[in-house]
Chains A and B, each alone.
Chain A
Amino acid sequence: MNIARIFHGGRTGSVPKLPLIVIVLWILVALAAPWIAPWSQREIIGDPYGVPQHGAILGMDYFGRDMLSRIIFGSRTTIVLAVAANLIASGVGITIGFFSAYAKGWIDEAIGRVMDGLMALPTIMFALVCVSALGSSEMVLVCTVGLIESVRVYRVARAVGLDNLARDYVDLAHLRGESVFWILFREALPNAYPPLLTDFGVRFAATVMLLSAVSFLGLGVQPPAADWGMMVRENLAGLRLGSIAAVFPALAIFSVTFSANKLVDWFLRRSQRDISTEFLA
């Protein structure tokens, strides 16, 4: 089996093997973290930026904690928070975007200007204000990041929605007197999946980074709890001292983002094929 096949899945449209394995593995790791991690995430077991020893195969972080254990525990916060924030972003963004495209006229204009305003705010600053005003809990963090990202989803969703609402079958649905919800979620949305899902996949990395940025500034996920994004930033200084500790959480983020994107691609290819099966006379 060649490499392209492992990454993309074959032409037959089978699931790409490697990305699927990676995602499943991370989910298992997140579930089983307390049982498989050699140490706890806050236990100091050696020197700062210590070299691998005593089964701590990835070495120590800037505090002398076991890197592997922290990555294992970090998977819980990172994956759960990023997925949740991303779902909020997509849910809110798509709903408002589609509604805006459907309403047209002054409602569309009004929503658009408000969204433009929100987009003009520097994201991190905005997140900091929200989190410090509402208190620092993971719930607030996820909601804030989700809402910030939803402004960007809104842009895509509105454009996709406009396109999908200008179809003949939508006119015919209007003629049947269908409700807004039917038209948006039954007629338009199913045809809008491809660009929206691609957007979802790409946005995953952005969400991870934004979450960790906010965490790093001391809000959101609180040290010593582990979060991959935060771990990259914590250990960044070590690079100058010759430690590669920061590379491991970065690799973890990369593996999840990459695999998620590949799975999204596969899903799109599969659904695209269902649609465009040519009729052979």
Chain B
Amino acid sequence: MSELMRFENLNVSVSSGTLVNDFSLSVQQGEVVALIGESGAGKSTIGLAALGYARAGCRLASGRIMFRGSDLARIGQRGARLVRGAKVAYIAQSAATAFNPAIRIVDQIMEATAVHGKGNRRVAYGRALELARSMGLGAADEMMRRFPHELSGGQLQRLMTVMALMCRPELLVLDEPTTAIDVTTQLGVLASLKRIIQQEKVACLYISHDLAVVAQMADRIVVLRHGGKVEEGEARQLLTSPQCDYTRELIAAASAGLSNRTAEAPVASSEPDVPDAPGAPVLEIRHAVARYGRGKPTLNDVSLTVRRGEFVAIVGESGSGKSTLARVATGLLPIASGELLLNGRPLAPSLRRRGMEELRGVQLVLQHPDLALNPRITVGAAIGRPLERYFGLKGAAREKRVAELLRLVELPEEVAQRLPSQLSGGQKQRANLARALAAEPDLLVCDEVTAALDSIVSSRILALLSTLRRQLGTACIFITHDVSKASKLADQIYVMHQGQVVESGQSPEVVAHPQHPYTQALFNSIPELRTDWLKERMPGLAA
């Protein structure tokens, strides 16, 4: 194997500082190198630098990016055009937004070959079909004639891979290629990616935040943090015997999220101070049907019971109706038919008819920490508002309680004076939790509260959640797409698919013996932190 690309002391800077610091890396021909790190680690910036490109406002300040004897950092517009797409190709994170919505897929796929003058259209089309077949796309011929919005996320991601490989590039930069798609789809996409990488013998820079995914794909893993390299090593070795603390922390956060099929008892229910006798129901949803506008119901005949002090997880993929369930439970979306009961008393479907006490009883924490806090309202005022509304607390009493709540979610008290923009993502989510807890709710509805956070931060938030539940005994509906997190925290699991609950039961039971075929497929699709997991799942893959 000979060297294909070499980064030498690369620095990428913006006006206020540097994004990438003195980064060096060598990529061999046909090798898959993974860049892993949390948001802001500089992994996408390095990925784009491999195409000799820096985003607006960024500058390839110093260092070299050697590729086939030329320095991509200094190659200029004209030179870069000869390399991009032809020699080094790029696959973006969200194919759904990366494709031009107004142009048919086939024309977008063929564009690169036309631009680089590689073969005539008929030959190119033949190659596109062949690649699409290798990517596991059945009716590729017909599919490519469609527009992007007529295809699913998984299909688009595969077609984007076809597009990237059209000119037989030597290096492929994949920027979080499966992050935006569902787990069950991800499995198939990963398998076909792996197959085509082997078939085309193309070298890859595989960018991801997900160690378990990277473990399946990479020969070598590079761990990045704050724009610098933390650790680099052969994949299996790095995962089994990491050298740096940060890498260990990443691996711990990733494995903490793993569902062990060994039916390990959930952490929380083994705690002695949780009343283990099932309490009275806090929230009951009976045969709820809900829809947006006049379309077909997003939620179809869903029943669910949450008892006092109980942790109920709702798992499902995007479009399964799990977030709609959160909106229904809180009353943001009135149910079309069915019944809602809070503490045994019927709950008006629409918010306007609910009394203060009923509003206080159910509190919602949302996915995106920065969207849930008003940017113009200080954290203290945001947390203080429910105190004022529900308990009439004012002045010093209110401030005292705000400080208590901040301590409860492990935030320093001075955060109360700050605006949300002065907090990190994890801190904002803690503030959101504090605001919800300020109401002293009977039921906390957490909608994907860790989905927008980095793995280490999110495992800390989960730890906080289970501490809080032990301290306060608040019942909780925990909505997530991440089965492993759900299985760790919850007493009960409800699996949702296409607006219906397909399976429910005690968490260890459901995890150990999933009954419904969808649940089985879902559980089997969650990548595990072992390099051989994908091969075991997909025996058809060549070794």
A277 to B16, CA, bound (A): 12
Q: A176-B389, A277-B422, A279-B424 are in contact. Are A169 and B372 (CB under 8 A)?
A: yes
Of the residues A174, A190, A279, contact of B332 by C-beta under 8 Å? A174
Tell me, yes or no, whether B330 is within 8 Å of chain A by CB: yes
Check B419–A175 contact: CB distance below 8 A: no
Q: A275-B421, A279-B422, A281-B424 are in contact. Are A176 and B386 (CB under 8 A)?
A: yes
Check B376–A168 contact: CB distance below 8 A: no
A67 CB to closest chain B CB, in angstroms?
46
Give the chain B neighbours of A167 by CB distance below 8 A: 371, 374
| In the complex, chain B residues 328-373 whose Cβ is within 8 Å of any chain A Cβ | 330-332, 351, 354, 356, 359, 362-364, 366, 368, 371-373
B436 CB to closest chain A CB, in angstroms?
9
Interface size on A, residues (CB 8 A): 21
B184 CB to closest chain A CB, in angstroms?
28
Tell me, yes or no, whether A12 is within 8 Å of chain B by CB: no
> Closest residue of chain B to A192, judged by CB?
B376
Tell me, yes or no, whether B119 is within 8 Å of chain A by CB: no
A174 to B389, CA, bound (A): 12
Tell me, yes or no, whether B375 is within 8 Å of chain A by CB: yes
Tell me, yes or no, whether A125 is within 8 Å of chain B by CB: no
Check A274–B330 contact: CB distance below 8 A: no
A139 to B174, CA, bound (A): 66
A90 to B332, CA, bound (A): 31
Give the chain A neighbours of B427 by CB distance below 8 A: 279
Give the chain A neighbours of B377 by CB distance below 8 A: 186-187, 190
Check B359–A177 contact: CB distance below 8 A: yes
Interface size on B, residues (CB 8 A): 30
A-B contact count (CB 8 A): 64
Of the residues B356, B362, B423, contact of A279 by C-beta under 8 Å? B423
Check B421–A175 contact: CB distance below 8 A: no
Check A168–B424 contact: CB distance below 8 A: no
| In the complex, chain A residues 160-217 whose Cβ is within 8 Å of any chain B Cβ | 167-169, 171-172, 174-178, 186-187, 190-191
Give the chain B neighbours of A175 by CB distance below 8 A: 330-332, 351, 359, 362-364
Tell me, yes or no, whether A2 is within 8 Å of chain B by CB: no
Check A191–B351 contact: CB distance below 8 A: no
Check A168–B368 contact: CB distance below 8 A: yes
A177, A178, A274, A277 interface centre (most CB from chain B within 10 Å): A177
A178 CB to closest chain B CB, in angstroms?
8
Give the chain A neighbours of B386 by CB distance below 8 A: 176
A281 to B225, CA, bound (A): 12
Give the chain B neighbours of A171 by CB distance below 8 A: 332, 364, 366
A140 to B356, CA, bound (A): 46
Give the chain B neighbours of A190 by CB distance below 8 A: 374, 376-377
| In the complex, chain B residues 85-137 whose Cβ is within 8 Å of any chain A Cβ | none
> Closest residue of chain A to B424, judged by CB?
A279
Check B374–A276 contact: CB distance below 8 A: no
Check A176–B372 contact: CB distance below 8 A: no
Check B374–A191 contact: CB distance below 8 A: yes
Give the chain A neighbours of B385 by CB distance below 8 A: 176
> Closest residue of chain A to B439, judged by CB?
A176
Check B421–A277 contact: CB distance below 8 A: yes
> Closest residue of chain B to A274, judged by CB?
B419
Give the chain A neighbours of B364 by CB distance below 8 A: 171-172, 175
B197 CB to closest chain A CB, in angstroms?
34
B445 CB to closest chain A CB, in angstroms?
10
Check A177–B372 contact: CB distance below 8 A: no
A277 to B366, CA, bound (A): 23
Check A187–B332 contact: CB distance below 8 A: no
Chain A positions within 8 Å of B, measured between CB atoms, are 167-169, 171-172, 174-178, 186-187, 190-191, 274-279, 281
Contacts A175-B359, A187-B377, A276-B421 aside, 14 further interface pairs with beta carbons under 8 A come to A168-B368, A171-B366, A172-B364, A172-B435, A174-B332, A174-B351, A175-B351, A175-B364, A176-B386, A177-B351, A277-B421, A278-B421, A279-B422, A281-B40
Chain B positions within 8 Å of A, measured between CB atoms, are 40, 330-332, 351, 354, 356, 359, 362-364, 366, 368, 371-377, 385-386, 389, 419, 421-424, 427, 435
14 contacts between A and B (CB under 8 A): A167-B371, A168-B372, A169-B371, A172-B435, A174-B332, A174-B351, A175-B363, A187-B377, A190-B376, A191-B376, A274-B419, A274-B421, A275-B419, A281-B40
- 5 smallest beta-carbon distances between A and B, as pairs: A190-B376, A168-B371, A169-B374, A168-B372, A177-B359
